[in-house]
C-alpha cells in the first residue's frame, strides 16, 4: 500500500477536528503565483482555520472566482481525472482548488468533488464548511457529525498509545545527540528509554493520523523518525511515501527531491509480486514527482532524466501516456536539453495520445506544417493556462516555441519575409523585427535583416566538428547510466533466483 493508497479513513486533529490549513506568507505567495491569471484570493480565513494545526502550502483560502468560465477547450484537455488515479487524495485537493480558481468546471461541481474527497480524510470541519456554503445550510448531515465524533475518539486513543514515544521525540537535543552517537535505534531506545516495538508501531499510526488531519509538518517529522527506527520494510516504504507527500504539500522542494531519490531507489530495489505491480509503482512515482519537477529549480532537467530511462518510459507508454504532455513541455522550455527533442518526437509518432502540446511538435518537426504548428501553439495557450503544473511556464513555453518555429523555418528558407513571419508568430511587424534582431544576437545566427525590403537573409552556416561531437554525446551519460543500471538489476535478479 502506498501509505495506504488514496482511500483512507482515520482520525481528526488536535483541539478540534481539522478545519482548514493555515498558510504562511510564503505559501500564500506561491499559491497566488500559481493562479496569477485568476482573480486574487481572499487573505482571510475562518477563525476556526486559524486555530488549526495543519500547514498545507497548496491549500488556499476562500476566494472570489472570476465571473467568466474558462474556454470549453480547457475542460477537453484537463487531465485531473487521469492524474487523480495515481495520486493520494491530499495531493488531488490542490488540483481541485486550481480548477475552481480557473472556473474550468461549474463551481458547484468542484465543491461537490471537494466534499467527496475530504469525507474520505479527517478534514471533516473543512468538508463541513464547504457543505454549508454549497447548500446554504447552518448544519451538516448526521452521518458527517457522527464521523466527527468517531474521529475525536480515535484521536484520543492514538494520542494515549503514542504518548511515550512522542514525548521522547519532543526533545530535539536528545534526538540529535543519539543520532550523532549512532545510538538512535530500537535496541538502545528500548534499553535506555523504555521505547519498545509497540511504541514505534503506535508512532506510525499516529503520524498517519496527523497526515489525514492535514497536519503535514508533524506527520513528516514523525515519519522521518519512524523510518530511522522501524524494522518492517513494508511499513518503512509506506512511511517514505507519506514523508514525500508531506514535503510536497508543505512545498519543501529540497526535502522532496531527497525523498524522491530515496523512493525511486526503494521502488527499483523492492521485490514485487509481478512485473505489472512494479510498473504500477513506477507509474505512481512519476505522477507524484510532477509536483517536484515543476516547482524545484532543477526539476525540468530531472523530469527529462527520469522519463527517458527505459523502464520509466515503458511504464508511461503502457499506463500513462498523458504524461508525455509534461515531458514535451519540459523539453520545450529547457534550452539545454534540446538534444532530447528528436527522441521525444520519435516517441510521439508511435503514440495514440495527443493534445495541443504534443501535436505542436509533430506539426513542426514531422510534417513541417508551419500554419498547423501556429494553430496548435495558439491552442497550447489554453492548455497551459489551465494546467496546474504548467501554468507557471506559459510565457517561457511560448517564447521557446516561437524560437522553434523560427529556427525550423530558417533551415528550409534562404530569404524570409518579416511580415509573413510575424503572422506565423502571432506578433506585429515591429515586435517581430525586434524579436528577430535579439534572437540573431543571442543565438549567433548567420543572418542579416534588410529593413528596406522587410526580409531576413539567411546564410549557410556549417556546423563545426566540435559542435557535432557535443550534439551526439549530450545524452550519452544518461543513456549509459540507464544501461548499466538495467544490467546490474538483471544480474542481481539472476543471482537472487539462483540463491
Contact 114, 128 (CB under 8 A): no
Strands 447-450 and 415-417: unpaired
**Looking at residue 492, what is its pLDDT?**
63
Of 304, 266, 310, 305, which is closest to residue 285 (Cα–Cα)? Answer: 266
Which residue in this structure is represented by grid cell 484521536?
155
For the question of whether the overall pTM of this predicted structure is more than 0.85, the answer is no
Long-range contacts of 253-257 (CB under 8 A, 24+ apart): 253/292, 253/295, 253/296, 253/299, 254/296, 255/220, 256/291, 256/292, 256/296, 257/292, 257/296, 257/298, 257/302
Strand-by-strand arrangement of the 455-458 sheet: 415-417, 455-458, 447-450
Return the exposure string of 452-489: e unless at least 16 CB atoms fall within 10 Å of the residue's CB, then b. Answer: eebbbebeeeeeeeeeeeeeeeebeebeeebeeeeeee
Contact 434, 418 (CB under 8 A): no
Query: What is the C-alpha separation between 60 and 457, in angstroms, rounded?
Result: 52
| Helix 429-443 with 394-411: angle, nearest 10 deg | 80
Q: Is 413 helix (H, G, I), strand (E, B) or coil?
A: coil
Measure the N-to-C terminal CA separation of the chain; round to a whole number of Å.
28
How many contiguous H segments (helices) and E segments (strands) does the chain have? Answer: 27, 3
**Looking at residue 128, what is its pLDDT?**
92
Contact 250, 56 (CB under 8 A): yes
Please name every residue paired with 457 in a beta bridge, in sequence order, or none if there are none.
415, 448
Q: What are the phi and psi torsion angles at 380 (to 5°)?
A: -60, -30
Please name every residue paired with 18 in a beta bridge, in sequence order, or none if there are none.
none
Cell of 217: 509538518
Q: What are the phi and psi torsion angles at 271 (to 5°)?
A: -90, 115
Q: What is the largest CA-CA distance in the chain?
A: 88
Cell of 124: 471533516
**Looking at residue 425, what is its pLDDT?**
72
The angle subtended at Cα 370 by Cα 462 and Cα 429, nearest 5°, is: 90
DSSP state of 41: B
**Looking at residue 412, what is its pLDDT?**
78
Which residue in this structure is represented by grid cell 505489472?
276
Q: How far is CA 200 from CA 183, 207, 439, in A?
A: 16, 11, 60
Beta-carbon contacts of 265 under 8 Å, excluding residues fewer than 6 positions away, are none
Q: Which residues of the chain have pLDDT under 50?
A: 1-57, 60-64, 498-499
Long-range contacts of 369-377 (CB under 8 A, 24+ apart): 370/405, 370/408, 370/409, 370/424, 371/424, 373/405, 374/405, 374/424, 374/425, 374/426, 377/401, 377/402, 377/405, 377/426
Which residue in this structure is represented by grid cell 505567495?
29
**DSSP string for 109-164:** HHHHHHHHHHTTSS-HHHHHHHHHHHHT-SS--HHHHHHHHHHHHHHHHHHHHTHH
Please name every residue paired with 415 in a beta bridge, in sequence order, or none if there are none.
457
Q: How many CB atoms lie within 10 A of CB 205?
A: 17
Q: Is 458 helix (H, G, I), strand (E, B) or coil?
A: strand
Cell of 106: 461549474
Which residue in this structure is represented by grid cell 539545454?
336
Of 270, 275, 340, which is closest to residue 311 (Cα–Cα)? Answer: 275
Q: What are the phi and psi torsion angles at 41 (to 5°)?
A: -85, 155
**Looking at residue 208, what is its pLDDT?**
94
Amino acid at each position: 500500500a502506498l501509505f495506504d493508497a488514496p482511500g483512507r479513513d482515520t482520525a481528526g486533529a488536535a483541539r478540534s477536528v481539522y478545519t482548514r490549513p493555515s498558510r504562511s506568507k510564503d505559501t500564500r505567495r506561491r499559491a497566488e503565483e500559481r493562479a496569477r491569471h485568476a482573480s486574487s484570493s481572499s487573505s482571510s480565513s475562518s477563525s476556526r482555520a486559524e486555530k488549526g494545526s495543519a500547514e498545507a502550502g497548496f491549500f488556499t483560502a476562500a476566494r472570489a472566482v472570476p465571473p467568466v468560465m474558462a474556454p470549453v477547450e480547457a475542460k477537453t484537455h484537463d487531465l485531473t481525472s487521469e492524474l487523480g488515479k495515481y495520486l493520494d487524495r491530499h495531493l488531488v485537493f490542490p488540483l481541485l482548488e486550481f480548477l475552481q480558481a480557473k472556473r474550468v468546471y461549474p463551481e458547484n461541481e468542484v465543491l461537490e468533488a471537494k466534499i467527496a474527497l475530504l469525507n474520505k480524510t479527517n478534514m471533516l470541519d473543512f468538508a463541513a464548511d464547504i457543505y454549508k456554503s454549497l447548500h446554504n445550510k447552518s448544519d451538516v448531515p448526521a452521518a458527517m457529525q457522527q464521523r466527527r465524533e468517531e474521529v475525536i475518539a480515535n484521536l484520543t486513543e492514538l494520542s494515549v498509545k503514542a504518548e511515550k514515544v512522542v514525548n521522547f521525540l519532543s526533545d530535539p537535543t536528545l534526538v540529535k545527540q543519539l543520532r550523532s552517537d549512532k545510538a538512535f535505534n530500537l535496541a538502545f531506545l528500548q534499553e535506555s528509554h523504555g521505547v519498545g516495538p509497540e511504541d514505534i508501531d503506535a508512532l506510525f499510526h499516529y503520524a498517519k493520523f496527523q497526515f489525514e488531519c492535514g497536519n503535514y509538518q508533524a506527520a513528516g517529522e514523525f515519519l522521518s523518525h519512524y523510518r530511522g527506527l522501524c524494522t518492517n520494510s513494508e511499513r518503512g516504504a509506506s512511511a517514505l511515501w507519506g514523508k514525500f507527500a508531506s514535503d510536497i504539500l508543505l512545498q519543501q522542494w529540497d526535502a522532496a527531491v531527497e525523498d524522491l531519490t530515496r523512493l525511486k531507489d526503494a521502488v527499483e530495489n523492492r521485490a514485487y509480486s509481478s512485473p505489472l505491480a512494479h510498473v504500477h509503482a513506477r507509474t505512481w512515482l512519476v505522477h507524484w514527482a510532477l509536483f517536484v519537477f515543476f516547482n524545484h529549480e532543477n526539476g525540468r532537467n530531472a523530469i527529462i532524466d527520469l522519463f527517458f530511462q527505459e523502464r520509466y518510459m515503458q511504464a508511461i507508454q503502457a499506463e500513462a501516456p498523458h504524461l508525455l504532455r509534461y515531458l514535451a513541455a519540459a523539453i520545450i522550455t529547457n534550452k539545454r536539453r534540446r538534444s532530447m527533442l528528436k527522441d521525444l518526437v520519435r516517441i510521439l509518432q508511435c503514440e495514440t495520445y495527443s493534445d495541443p502540446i504534443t501535436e505542436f511538435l509533430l506539426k513542426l518537426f514531422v510534417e513541417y506544417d508551419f500554419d498547423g504548428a501556429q494553430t496548435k501553439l495558439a491552442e497550447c495557450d489554453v492548455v497551459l493556462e489551465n494546467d496546474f503544473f504548467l501554468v507557471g511556464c506559459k510565457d517561457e513555453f511560448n517564447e521557446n516555441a516561437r524560437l522553434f518555429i523560427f529556427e525550423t523555418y530558417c533551415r528550409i528558407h534562404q530569404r524570409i519575409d518579416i511580415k509573413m513571419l510575424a503572422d506565423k508568430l502571432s506578433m506585429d511587424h515591429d515586435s517581430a523585427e525586434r524579436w528577430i534582431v535579439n534572437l540573431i544576437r543571442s543565438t549567433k545566427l548567420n543572418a542579416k535583416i534588410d529593413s528596406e525590403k522587410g526580409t531576413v537573409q539567411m546564410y549557410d552556416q556549417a556546423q563545426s566538428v566540435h559542435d557535432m561531437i557535443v550534439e551526439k554525446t549530450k545524452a550519452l551519460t544518461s543513456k549509459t547510466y540507464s544501461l548499466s543500471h538495467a544490467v546490474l538489476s538483471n544480474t542481481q535478479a539472476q543471482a537472487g533466483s539462483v540463491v
